[in-house]
Structures are given as structure tokens and as C-alpha cells.
Chains A and B, each alone.
Chain A
Amino acid sequence: MAQLSYRDAVARGIAQEMRRDERVVVVGEDIAGAGGVFKTTVGLLDEFGPKRVIDTPISEQAILGAAMGAAMTGLRPVAEIMFSDFFAVCWDIVVNQIAKTRYMTAGQVTMPLVIKTGNGGGLRFGAQHSQSIENWAMAIPGLKVVTPSTAEDVVGLMAAAIRDDDPVIFCEHKGLYAAKGEVPDGEIIDTLGTAKVRRPGRDATILALGMMVPRALAAAEDLATRGIDAEVIDVRSLVPLDTRTILDSVARTGRLFTVEENPQLLGWGAEIASLVADEAFWDLDGPVQRITTPHIPLPSADSLEDLVMPSAESVARTVEKALQS
């Protein structure tokens, strides 16, 4: 067991797979010599050398195009898109090329690549450097989408993503990079498409992702002092989605809340609410409630950003009010 930061866990997960499989290569802006602008690839250049750990120009289309071509022909690239907001400049390669080629070629090619990215808000970076883009990605058939919330999960899910034969969008929450957690020694391999119950509870189910997980847990602790026993589920993987864990929980608690950092429209929670309406309607004791950022771009000022993003307080308040009415 070692205490590891979330950011160091990223490098550890990649290194674990690079040691095992020489087809794994890493590309991106400032990721080699500088170890990444978020320091998530520190040490990789030293250990694996410049043939496998490659600094690129600011050329996102070229980076992902090259990652795709390499994945089609025997490599297993991990490409970094520094801030997830920059997916917007290489969306063609992601959506029209990477996601669809396996299908269009009737399975002649596989696309074993990981696109890792710094995602999410809370750092006062303003509207072009703070977005949570999981929803964009999960709308595209062919992509898998994961967002770990702990250092241990980062290592294991990164390993699983690299070993997967499909393209995986690996969202690292920028607001969690400094967070530390216990990580077991030795090889860790997790499973895509599995959620984790972080806190069991009887009265309500709270689903959260990324940086919203610690906030949901803090809300649950707060609610416990007022007699509400909330279950917190870390969704971890949006595609594939662990519907079993979610539906089982709703069957037990009868109430569902989602905590989403994204703007409201078409957030992942809406998809889960629809699923629950279809498949677990009679388990519900009250309406499903989504706690999201309002449907606005994120403001830069700290006071405004804190106001609009879901917080432990706003989650606790919403759950308490809903359960009392």
C-alpha cells in the first residue's frame, strides 16, 4: 500500500502497461520532456525513452489521427488531449473516424486506443478550459467513457482501458489531480463498466462521477447527522454503464439523485433517469432528481463558479428537501 496522488496514479497505470506490452506508446503535447502540463506522465520518458513517449506539436487532429492509424496497425496508443475542451478541435477524428471505423469495416479493424484528458471545472479556468465532456463522448456509438474518482481506480481503469480493444475516452478530473489515496502495490487491473458503492445507505441513492463523488460523500455524511442514510455510487464508467448496481440500489432505496458537473441538458443523469423510468418505475417512491450545473457556460470568477457547480451543501439540501416532502 502506498499513498499516491491521482496525478501520479495516471503515470503509474500507463507505466504498468508499458512494461508489460511494448505496443503501448504515449503521445501528446508537453507529455514527454515536461511530464505533462498536469504532471500525469512524469517519469515515462526516462523509463521508456523517446521512441515510446513522444512530444507533439499543437496539432490535435494530427495526434489523434496518428493514434488511430497506429491502433489500426498493431500499436496500442495512449494519446493525451491536454484539456478536454480541446476535443472540439479534433472531433472529426474522434466521432467520424475512431468511433465508427470498426463498424463500417465490419470488424476488419479494431481500435485499441486510449484518449486521456484533463476534464472538469472548479479551477477558475473559465468557460473554455473547464468543461465536463463525458456527455459529448457518450453520445457517440463506438466510444467507451470512463471517469475515475480515486487514485486506485485511475491505475486499474487505465490498465483496463489500455487492454481494451475499443477506443476509450479516459477523463481525468483536473480538480482531483492533487488528491491522494491508498493504492495497493503490484499490478492493478480493474474492469470497465463497473460502478462502485462508496457508501451504503437505505434512504436514497446518489449517483456521482469524478469530482462530484467526494462532494456526494460529504453530502451523505452531512445527511447522516440529520437521520438520512444515503447510498453513494461512484458511476466510474458511463459507457459501458453498470445498470445492475444502479437499479439494485434504487430498488432498495426508492429514491434516486444524480450529481452531475455538466450543464443540465442531456447530461448523463438524464439518460439514467430515463432508464430508471423505463425499468424501475415501480421501485421509485418519488421523482428522480438531477443536481447539475445550470445550463450555462462556466464563469471564471471563483465566487460565481462555486455558486453554479453542485456542492456538498447543494446536494445535501436537495436530497433532504426531497425526502421531507
Chain B
Amino acid sequence: MRLPLAEHRYGEHGVVLPPERSDSNDALDVDLDMRRQLYRSMREMRTFEKRAYDLFMKQLVKGTSHLSLGMEAIAAGFGAAMQEDDYTFATYRGHAHTLARGVPMTPVLAELLGRANGLMGGKGGSMHLTSVEHGMMGSYAIIGAHLTIANGAAWSAQYRGSGQVAVCFFGDGTTNIGAFHEALNYAAVYRLPVVFVCENNLYMEYTSIRDITAVAHPAADRAAAYGLESIVVDGNDADAVHLAALEALDRARSGRGPSLVEALTYRHGGHSRADPGKYRPTGEVDAWKAYDPLTIYRERLGRLGVSEAELDAMDATALALVDAATEGAIAGELPSPESAFTDVWADGGWSWRN
């Protein structure tokens, strides 16, 4: 129940706790090789994001950065379910989704540092990571826009009969902008091969999603309005996410239309930069940190017989990759001044005078 405005109590939105820990999802139908891959992928994202944070604090990452710490299971679970030529559309919180498509770490980190060897030569920055050759069709920093754009990629795939699917990631806060609603109706009307994934981390920037949304599940509770199934998955459980992803992708690929998946998760840190996230109740932060997608998955793999030594080796490999990327990024040259004046037009130029 929402309070009338005058009685509204900020910050008293109640603590939202993660699900109970249990081993029941050990039995999910995901084979062990895939599970190893999911763990590896999440560990790489985790290690990468921690490094990005350290480099931000050292003022090597300039401007801003939005991390996916605590939210890795969604990027990994979907990334592993997508085919090579599927499309990803992400937000400014897009480092993990970029890595999930197989984009190498060095150019991603170098882009954060504004270097010439960055993914876009320093012209886009952390909020706009794009690698078309990997199907990473961009990271978008204006809320809501990319849902409509993902529809276009799905339309193109449908038109060309290519069998590709567009997957679009966005946050809970994004469900309150008009473009979200327009995009869902549009996708449903044309049965587009698109999967919308709401990463519900319970907060927009500094405001609890509950304080400013009419329904409890910002995405799933709206699905019915567009004739879509209401789907909520545990976004911290890589297996649950992966299975939901496979199903939604299959549905899209086989011409049965779009899906809207709400994945419940939590960000370990603040919204961006050095935000300490003080607007969140401590009980809530602690509970979600204990329900860490990496911790619960590591325990699961242990129960399924993967040795500590093997898991440690995977961790070490991830760290080595991130160390190498850090070296490569820091060693990168500054972009050449001329590069500021290219790529405005299709001919590579920028000048409006001739």
C-alpha cells in the first residue's frame, strides 16, 4: 500500500531480503561443463569490476562508471545462453554484459581509462561500450531508449529471417519511463524476437523502486498489460537465470514472440562512481551480500563434486586475465588528437563545410 504523498516516509520502504539459501537448485538441468563456464564467467566479471573500481579510486578511470558487482549471474546466465550472432543491448551498467559476449578485457578496460587501445578509442567511455563484431550492439545511457532500439534489431532479424534474437537488459527504474511501455506493446504486436531482461536491483539511483512504483514487481506485474507471461527469476542464481534465458531465447527464435524476464538481484556497491549507497538499510545490504551469486554458486559446484583446487585455479586464471588487461590498458597511449574529429559521418569525416 502506498502512502499519500504528505505522509510518505522516505527510506522507510522496508527491507527487501533475498531468498533463503538452499541446495534445491543443485538439481536444475544444467550440465557440469556449462556450470564451470558460468562460474568462470562470473568470476571474470567480478574480478574485472573490482579492478575497475580500484582504478576509478586511483583516478585512472575518469568520469563515471557503473558496476555490476553482485549482479553477475544475469550477465553470465544470459551470455552463455545466447548464440554467437545474437544481439545484446545494455545500459551504462554494461561492463559485464560486454564481457559476456566474449569481448576481450583489455580494450574494455582501456576504454574506461580513455586510451587509444580502448574498445572505441576513448570516444565512447564506460557508459557506451560497443563491439558490433561480438553482437554487443551498445550500452545506452538515456533510460528507456534502447528497449525501442532492440525492437529494431529484432525486427531486422525477423525481416531477414536470420534466426537471431535481440536481448535487452535494463533496470527496475527503467520500467517507469514511457519508452518501456511503448517498446513492450510494440514487440508484442509484431511478435518480435526480443527478450527484455529487467535487472531488478531494487533501486533506481538513490531511490528505492518501491517508493516510486505502483506495483511490487516493476516488470513482471506489468507483463500482463502486453499479453506477456509474468516471469520472476532469482537473478543471483546463475542456473535459474540460464534456464530462463534458454527458454525465452527459444521462444523468440521459434517465432513465438517476445518475453519479459524480471531477475531479482542487488548491487553490492553504490549506483556509480564512489557512491557509498548509504540510502540502503544495512540489514538489506548485508543479507544480499551474503546471498552473493559467486558464493552460492561456488558452494553449489563444491556439492556437485568440483574440487576446491579447480575452483581456485579458475579464480587465479580470472585474476591473471584482469592483471594482464590492467597492464595493457595502463600501457595504452592517449588517443591521437585527430581521432576526436573522425566518425561523425559515414565517410569517417566530421566537417560540415565543403
Which residues of A come within 8 Å of B, CB atoms? 29-30, 32-34, 37, 45, 49-51, 54-62, 85-86, 88-89, 123-129, 265, 294-297, 299-304, 307-308
Q: Cα distance A300–B279 when bound, in Å?
A: 29
Chain A proximity of B111: nearest CB distance (Å): 8
CB distance A124 to B114 under 8 Å? yes
CB distance B123 to A301 under 8 Å? yes
- Residues in A with CB closer than 8 Å to B211 are 33, 55
Q: Please, which residue of chain A has its CB at the minimum distance from the CB of B127?
A: A126
- Residues in A with CB closer than 8 Å to B114 are 124, 300-304
Q: Please, which residue of chain B has its CB at the minimum distance from the CB of A56?
A: B212
- Residues in A with CB closer than 8 Å to B126 are 126, 300
- Checking B177, B337, B341, B351 against A60 with a beta-carbon cut-off of 8 angstroms, the contacting residue is B177
- Checking B5, B11, B206 against A30 with a beta-carbon cut-off of 8 angstroms, the contacting residue is B206
- Residues in A with CB closer than 8 Å to B7 are 50
Chain A proximity of B26: nearest CB distance (Å): 38
Q: Please, which residue of chain B has its CB at the minimum distance from the CB of A264?
A: B352
- Per-position binary interface string of chain B over residues 215-252, scored 1 when its CB falls under 8 Å from any chain A CB and 0 otherwise: 00000000000000000000000000000000000000
- Residues in A with CB closer than 8 Å to B341 are 294, 296
CB distance B350 to A126 under 8 Å? no
- The 6 A-B pairs of least Cβ separation, nearest first, read A300-B125, A124-B63, A301-B122, A301-B114, A57-B176, A34-B206
Q: Cα distance A296–B178 when bound, in Å?
A: 29
CB distance B335 to A301 under 8 Å? yes
- Residues in B with CB closer than 8 Å to A297 are 344
CB distance A299 to B123 under 8 Å? yes
Q: Cα distance A101–B337 when bound, in Å?
A: 46
14 A-B pairs besides A30-B204, A50-B10, A58-B173 with CB distance below 8 A are A30-B207, A33-B207, A37-B205, A50-B8, A50-B9, A51-B6, A59-B177, A129-B64, A295-B352, A300-B63, A300-B114, A301-B62, A302-B63, A304-B340
Q: Please, which residue of chain B has its CB at the minimum distance from the CB of A304?
A: B340
CB distance B212 to A55 under 8 Å? yes
- Checking B123, B206, B279 against A304 with a beta-carbon cut-off of 8 angstroms, the contacting residue is B123
Is the interface on chain B under 10, 10 to 19, 20 to 34, or 35 or more residues? 35 or more
Q: Cα distance A86–B142 when bound, in Å?
A: 7
Q: Please, which residue of chain A has its CB at the minimum distance from the CB of B342?
A: A296
CB distance A29 to B204 under 8 Å? yes
Can you report 25 residue pairs joining A to B where beta carbons are below 8 Å apart? A29-B204, A30-B206, A32-B10, A34-B205, A45-B10, A50-B5, A50-B10, A55-B212, A59-B178, A60-B177, A89-B144, A89-B177, A89-B179, A124-B64, A126-B125, A126-B141, A128-B128, A128-B141, A129-B141, A295-B351, A296-B350, A299-B123, A299-B340, A300-B63, A300-B127
- Checking A55, A126, A296 against B344 with a beta-carbon cut-off of 8 angstroms, the contacting residue is A296
Whether B162 is near chain A, meaning CB under 8 Å from some CB there, is no
CB distance A33 to B279 under 8 Å? yes
Whether B174 is near chain A, meaning CB under 8 Å from some CB there, is yes
CB distance A303 to B8 under 8 Å? no
Whether B124 is near chain A, meaning CB under 8 Å from some CB there, is yes
Whether B330 is near chain A, meaning CB under 8 Å from some CB there, is no
CB distance A304 to B339 under 8 Å? yes
Q: Cα distance A85–B92 when bound, in Å?
A: 15
Q: Among B213, B335, B340, find the residue whose CB has the most chain A CB atoms closer than 10 A.
A: B340
CB distance A88 to B204 under 8 Å? no
Q: Cα distance A59–B181 when bound, in Å?
A: 12
